[in-house]
Amino acid sequence: MRRGGRRDEAPPLPRPLACVPSIAAQGQRGVGRFRNAAAAAPRLEPVQGRMYTLLSGLYKYMFQKDEYCVLILGLDNAGKTTFLEQSKTRFNKNYKGMSLSKITTTVGLNIGTVDVGKTRLMFWDLGGQEELQSLWDKYYAECHGVIYVIDSTDEERLSESKQAFEKVVSSEALDGVPILVLANKQDVETCLSIPDIKTAFSDCTCKIGRRDCLTQACSALTGKGVREGIEWMVKCVVRNIHRPPRQRDIT
C-alpha cells in the first residue's frame, strides 16, 4: 500500500554486535568449563560417611570390649568351679569371691566374666557328672575356647577323664578352637606329674590337630598357674580369625 506516493516497508532488523557474544554461546562455554572441572576433581568419600566410620570406631574403642566365650569342662570334682572363682578374684579388682570351702559340685551351669585389658572372657562352667556330659556339645558352636580340667590326684578316674576329653576334641563343632588342659591340684604331693598326664592322654594327640593346645600345671586352690592359663587363652582366642568375638558394652 502506498501513502502519499510512498511504499510501506518493514523496519530493518538490528545487527548483532560482533564484540558481544550471544547468551546461548556464553551458556554453552560455561557448561563446558563446569564439566571439565568436575571431571578433573578427585572423587572423595562423602564427609558424613567418613565421620560415621570415625565415630563408630571411637565408640567401640572407648565403650565396648571384644567378648569371647570359654567353656570349662572336666569330670565332677576336678576343680572347675574353684578355678573359675580364682580367675575372677585375680582379674576383677572389686570382685569378692565366695569361700572356696563352700564350693559344691556344679549341677547345671555357672557363669562368670574376666576382663583382661580390652578383652572379656565369658566363662561357662558346666557340670561334669556323666549324665550332664551329654549337654556339653550344646554349647560348642558358640564358644571360642575350651579349658579342660583334670584332677591329677585321682588316678582311678584318669581313664574316664581321658574318654570324656576324647569326645570333646573329636567334635567337628570345636574344630580350630584352642584347648587349655589344666592338670589341677598340683599342690598335693601325691599328684600325677605333667609327663604322666601327657602319657595317659597321648591317644588323643592325633585328634587335637593343628589347633592351639597347652597342658599346664595348676592349683586352683592356691591360684598357681591360673593367671598364666588365662593369659594364654586370651592370646589364642584373639588370633583365631575363624571365630570372631562378640561386641559388648563396657560395664
Binding site as annotated, residues for GTP? 74-81, 128, 184-187
Q: Which among 112, 144, 139, 122 has a CA at the least distance from the CA of 65?
A: 122
CB 120 within 8 A of CB 102: no
In one letter, which amino acid is 153? T
The 8 Å CB, 24+ separation contacts for 54-61 are 60/247
Q: SS3 sequence, 160-227?
A: HHHHHHHHHHHCHHHCCCCEEEEEECCCCCCCCCHHHHHHHCHHHHHHHCCCCEEEEECECCCCECHH
Where is 106: in which H helix or E strand?
none
Binding site residues, as ranges?
A: 74-81, 106, 128, 184-187
Contact residues for 101 (Cβ-Cβ < 8 A; gap 6+): none
Binding site residues for Mg(2+), as ranges?
A: 81, 106
Q: Decide: residue 117, CB within 10 A, 0-12 exposed, 13-18 middle, 19+ buried.
A: exposed
Distance of alpha carbon 189 from alpha carbon 80, whole angstroms: 20
Question: Among 129, 133, 163, 247, which one carries the catalytic annotation?
Answer: 129
Active site includes 48? no
Distance of alpha carbon 197 from alpha carbon 78, whole angstroms: 14
Instruction: Tell me which residues are annotated as active site.
Output: 129
